[in-house]
Structure 1
Amino acid sequence: MDDTKAALSKVGARLRALRPILTPLESRILNEALDEGFDEGTALTYFAGKADVSEAMVVKTAKKLGFTGFRDFREQISAYNARPSAVLHKEIGPEDSQADILRKVFNTAIQALQETQVIIDEDAFAKVVDAISAAPRRDLYGVGGSAQIARDVSHKFLRIGVRCAVYDDAHMMLMSASMLEPGDIAVAFSHSGRTSAVIDGVLEAKRRGATTIAITNYVHSPLVDAVDLVLRSTASGSPLLGENAAARVAQLTVMDAVFAAIAAKAYDVAERNLERTRTAVAIKRVR
């Protein structure tokens, strides 16, 4: 990804990360800016009128979103809106052909992967790899769709001999967390970062001295505040698909990278365990 594409990807990721802390008025301004027709020629007065807010409110919101002012806000968001992929990422509608739907769904996932790649904290990634590699016990917590991600990760890690336990029940999370000790880890999967059962689990794990890790979408959330390490994904939302569909792809890819890095740390052991697990299930395949 070239520097321009990476910069634009960071713009989209930053805007979505800040959405949970925006007021209704601020959200309206952002939504108006991300709509069709907002470009480098849009005047502040016109934009404020269209959003039905004061000009001062627009400038204040632009700064809260990390821009230096309205001009910077207009320049970067209009460039983000003008990306070729933006056309394909429009909401799915009843007028769309099956080919249109196919392209839009794939484009949403591709965008999530591109934008997640540019916001990954490489230092946190390295620490997560080291912590998972060294831990005697590894608990994975998630509810609903996030639990399915945890199960996929557990399955993948088992192939190289890295055993994990998956918990998707609030009571079981707390019970397992209470048995953790320093050196163990608890990994919490939550798109919103606001799932109470998962947060309670990692807080208990942290009280027991375990290293806590979050795989989540938003930088401003109770889960992020509760853990030691964060690996963040990002994905555009839509009324039909929501954010979770694309975020699931991004989070699975992040954990694929963790898996590969752990395997590389002890390549011979990983290769041997891959062969053992592959051989063990081979008899279940129909010939």
Structure 2
Amino acid sequence: MTPTEQRVCDFALQYPEKVIHFTISELSKAAGVSDATVTRLCQSVGYHGYPEFRVLLARDLANPQQMNSGELRVTDAADDIRDKLIAASVQSISDTRYTLDVEALCGSAACIARAGRIDVYGIGGSACVAQDICHKFLRLGIAIVAYSDVDLMSISSAMLSSRDLAIGVSHTGRTESVVDAIRRAKTGGAKTIALTHNPLSPLAKSSDLVLQYAARPTAFSNDSLSGRLSQLVIADLLYTLIAFSSFDRSAQLIDQANALANKRRLR
């Protein structure tokens, strides 16, 4: 490590309980370094950035053995596998409390509520999350379409203007077609939101607002699986914030949607 990076490490090891509550600027000031030094250190030791470092530090302080207790083994019985996979998913959602920026969350909800038109882009596993977002916001009377086809994403993103909004869903933040669509939408003047695990990814850097979630990998299941549950939780948070911002109108629209759905259900 460089001398300045070592100062950050020394401070974190000496005052871990303080660091978990510090913003990156507060930590850099306390350690006498720049924000860039903190970010560079976190990346050099294997984290995506400072938010992930802070989350895992908080988790280790709460339970130092937790990192190893959930590891799957080939000798595990079915109930052990069940318990460990569920625990990993629950932990990812819990950790998202620390990675998700509340200002970005509220800002995203406000952008969605006032947008003239919204496009949501997602490929592969993220496509189902994009569809879930579309389904939720349609219930609130919001004009929104989810796209997973690359050609349609290209066409639709080129049609967006300053009145519109584009949301890119990508766990890695490196899905080329999603990043291209977000960049194209932004070029046209649209507001852009990234829903991703990686705040330093091309998708995050191309977006106006970043909704970062936590994810935890297990054997035979990469971290995008547990991350998908965190993505859905963030979609629920946005849905609830928007609904509460115009409660009476939202309640009426949701009642109408529920009534239509009930007509199609078998008794």
TM-score normalised per structure 1: 0.73
Residue 102 of structure 1 is matched in structure 2 by 82
Within 5 Å, which residues of 2 pair with 1:38-53?
none
CA contact (8 A) 2:60 2:67 kept: no
The alignment status of 1:141 with 2:121, answered yes or no, reads yes
The alignment status of 1:165 with 2:124, answered yes or no, reads no
The alignment status of 1:86 with 2:86, answered yes or no, reads no
User: Any stretches of 5+ residues in structure 2 without a counterpart?
Assistant: 1-15, 24-38, 51-56
The alignment status of 1:244 with 2:257, answered yes or no, reads no
CA contact (8 A) 1:140 1:189 kept: yes
How big is each residue's C-alpha offset from its partner over 1:143-183, in whole Å with a ceiling of 9 and x where there is no partner?
00001000011111222222310111221111001111102
Structure 1: distance between partners of 2:185 and 2:221: 33
Residue 119 of structure 1 is matched in structure 2 by 99
Q: Across the two proteins, how many residue pairs are aligned to each other?
A: 230
The alignment status of 1:207 with 2:187, answered yes or no, reads yes
Shift of 1:80: 5.0
Structure 2: distance between partners of 1:163 and 1:100: 44
Cα distance change, pair 78–171 in 1 and its aligned pair in 2 (3 A): closer
Q: CA RMSD in A?
A: 2.9
| Partner SS state of residue 167, structure 2 | strand
Residue 46 of structure 1 is matched in structure 2 by none
Shift of 1:106: 1.0
User: Any stretches of 5+ residues in structure 1 without a counterpart?
Assistant: 11-16, 31-63, 67-75
Work out which of the two has the higher radius of gyration on C-alpha atoms and give 1 or 2. 1
- Give identity over the alignment, percent: 29
Moved segments of 4+, more than 3 Å = 17-22, 76-88
How big is each residue's C-alpha offset from its partner over 1:78-97, in whole Å with a ceiling of 9 and x where there is no partner?
9459445434421x222111
| Partner SS state of residue 20, structure 2 | helix
Structure 1: distance between partners of 2:146 and 2:255: 24
TM-score normalised per structure 2: 0.78
